[in-house]
Chain A
Amino acid sequence: MTTVLIPSSTAPTPRAPGLVRRVADVAALTWRNLVHIAREPLQLSDVTVQPVLFTLLFVYVFGAGVVLPGGGTYADFAIAGLLALNLTTSSMGTAVGMSSDMNSGVIDRFRTLPMWRPAVLVGRSFADLMTAVICAGIVGITGYVIGWRPGGGILATLGGFGLFLLFSYGLSWGCACLGMVSKGPESAQGVGLLILFPLAVVSNALVPTQRMPTVLRAVANWNPVSAVCSAARQLWHNPNPSSSVQAWPMQHPVAASLLWSVVLIGVFAPLATVLYRRRTVG
């Protein structure tokens, strides 16, 4: 046993600190968080079962009652909204995961390792981005099966998904902050739901905003989720009733959604770093 335990000249040498080392740290933690998601039935279903279920439910139940101003099928209209709904609610997993980590001894272990400190946060955000890709892919495929057709060509289609993923990435940084300020995983989930569900629903994601009460309509038209949905509908040549709304984000949805995402990342990524440092200072 001793030969294994004592410092030995034949021991593999660790990589020197530097960019390669940082990338390796981020990769190791991204992998760890993906394993977590795969092993947590609730989180896994958030990105696999739920997207299929929501897509079918909303298209067939809501679709039966919603008449779109300007025409078009509800399926064509709804897929962008369902991407928003699924990605927004599944980003709660970030808050829950971050909070569990902060309340377990594993963060202490990471802190005694000679690793790149921000890798804990960056690794989480990358894992979330990958699950968002899976989630978005499942919504897209389910939508395609039930008749959704993007009409702007390959690049525009990918561009629409890209806007969703960028927005989802920004949200996950916000959720990481929430995870660090909340008392535990349960409260992170509770507060997360209170913020994210209205964010997804008070928007043009699932129904056109035109017939909403005045205050709600103003909120919905400026909601970042509406901007992303409108942008995707525009790129995909899908029905986009919001194009006739005079609010600036609805007139310039692509620019607005990019702007919102950049703001989210620009505010919450540095904030998460500060919160993480504060939570882990001895």
Chain B
Amino acid sequence: MREGAAIYAEGLTKRYGETQALAGIDLEVPTGTILAVLGPNGAGKTTAVRILTTLATPDSGQAWVAGHDVVREATAVQRSIGVTAQDATVDELLTGRQNLVMIGRLSGLRRKDAAARATELLEQFGLSDAADRILTGYSGGMRRRLDLAAGLVTRPPVLFLDEPTTGLDPSSRLRMWDVIRELVTGGVTLLLTTQYLDEADELADRIIVIDHGKVIANGTSGELKADTGGARLEVTLAAPAPGAVAALSPFVTGEIHTSHDGRRLRAPVRSESGLATKVVRGLDDAGIAVDDVEVQQPSLDDVFFALTGHPTEEAPEDVSADELEPLAQAEVVR
């Protein structure tokens, strides 16, 4: 165990039948910080979370949460954590309020305290109006919020959110981000998994990227982006201009490619706010007319491609689709 780490794991492995879900994961989340575990479907994110939240036992390796061994001191770990799993773990046939009261009582709260806490959380998560409705009438976003609230009933110091926004529409997703952001300003330690680089970027202090059960990168979002070539700048000129390359060179971090007609220029850049405006201004100062300037942020695909040499969704060339199938299933094995 490491001093000051709310979550600490070393050498976690886990095999489900033929599938090596985890092939030796190390991770560390200092108290009060947010770690995003980024990876495609089947990378082993859910398995890692299940081990850290006492739902699964590792084949080898050790992990501590809030100072307690997740295998030998599972109950002590359970007292310190809040969990929001990928698939809804709330009770469909109860109302929102009944769900939270039940969880409060099963966490050891007295009936009155559990009821008061439920009311408080429903209000915080904008669910007061739906509080006494059965969950079958809830939207996907409301269900996720309730699931998140369910993980917070006892005000746990360590939280696990497994893909909190997967499957949500964009506005529910932004709302979820706000909720998570407000959460962590209070000093809780948070481990969240995600398939989206922008989500990790938006919420986390540090990011680990996992693929095929192994950590393949570890750093802040800035470090990761720098490692992967950062963003891409694409400029379309009104007409070919010989001075364009020179005018762009202060902004770019690599070679500038010019298209055959001389009107389109592409180059890697370091992502920063207002970059497009500066580029337009720079070209304008050089007397070059611009049709379009676009800065493309690197996606998880770009990060993956840079780190692994293969894209996230498609099968790598040396692995057939059949072999990849069990990897996707590893996430749902229980």
Residue contact A28 to B105, C-beta cutoff 8 Å: yes
CB neighbours (8 Å) of B185 from chain A are 2
Please name the residue on chain B nearest to A6 by beta carbon. B186
Chain A 244-259, CB-CB to B under 8 Å as 1, else 0, gives 0000000000000000
Residue contact B124 to A7, C-beta cutoff 8 Å: no
- Stretch from B107-115, B217-225, B260-268, B278-286 forming part of the interface with A: B107-115
Please name the residue on chain A nearest to B188 by beta carbon. A6
Scan residues 169-202 of chain B and give those whose CB is less than 8 A from a CB of chain A: 179, 182-183, 185-188
Instruction: Give 8 A-B pairs besides A12-B117, A27-B105, A39-B93 with Cβ atoms closer than 8 angstroms.
Output: A1-B179, A7-B156, A12-B110, A15-B109, A25-B105, A106-B90, A119-B106, A282-B50
CB neighbours (8 Å) of A12 from chain B are 109-110, 113, 116-117
Please name the residue on chain A nearest to B153 by beta carbon. A113
Residue contact B186 to A5, C-beta cutoff 8 Å: yes
Number of A-B contacts (CB under 8 A): 121
- Stretch from A29-37, A217-225, A263-271 forming part of the interface with B: A29-37
B158 to chain A, nearest CB (A): 10
Q: How many B residues touch A, CB cutoff 8 Å? A: 51
Please name the residue on chain A nearest to B83 by beta carbon. A112
Scan residues 29-51 of chain B and give those whose CB is less than 8 A from a CB of chain A: 50-51
In the complex, whether A214 has a CB less than 8 A from a CB of chain B is: no
Chain B 36-73, CB-CB to A under 8 Å as 1, else 0, gives 00000000000000110111110000000000000000
Contact of A105 among B87, B94, B156 (CB under 8 A): B87
B79 to chain A, nearest CB (A): 5
Contact of A14 among B107, B179, B182, B187 (CB under 8 A): B107
Q: Given A8-B155, A39-B93, verify A110-B182 contact (CB < 8 Å).
A: no
CA distance A238 to B167 in the complex (A): 62
In the complex, whether A4 has a CB less than 8 A from a CB of chain B is: yes
A199 to chain B, nearest CB (A): 28
Please name the residue on chain A nearest to B86 by beta carbon. A105
In the complex, whether B208 has a CB less than 8 A from a CB of chain A is: no
In the complex, whether A154 has a CB less than 8 A from a CB of chain B is: no
Contact of B78 among A16, A40, A114 (CB under 8 A): A114
Please name the residue on chain A nearest to B94 by beta carbon. A35
CB neighbours (8 Å) of A106 from chain B are 89-91
A-B contact pairs, 8 of them (CB 8 A): A5-B186, A7-B155, A32-B98, A35-B98, A36-B93, A105-B85, A282-B50, A282-B51
Contact of B93 among A8, A35, A108, A282 (CB under 8 A): A35
Interface size class of A (residues with CB under 8 A): 35 or more
Query: Which residues from chain A sit less than 8 Å from chain B, CB to CB?
Result: 1-8, 11-12, 14-17, 21, 24-25, 27-29, 31-32, 35-36, 39-40, 104-106, 108-115, 119, 280-282
CA distance A97 to B63 in the complex (A): 34
In the complex, whether B233 has a CB less than 8 A from a CB of chain A is: no
Please name the residue on chain A nearest to B76 by beta carbon. A114
Contact of A24 among B91, B108, B134 (CB under 8 A): B108
Contact of A6 among B54, B79, B187 (CB under 8 A): B187
CB neighbours (8 Å) of A110 from chain B are 106
Residue contact A21 to B91, C-beta cutoff 8 Å: no
CB neighbours (8 Å) of B93 from chain A are 35-36, 39-40
A15 to chain B, nearest CB (A): 5
Chain B 211-243, CB-CB to A under 8 Å as 1, else 0, gives 000000000000000000000000000000000
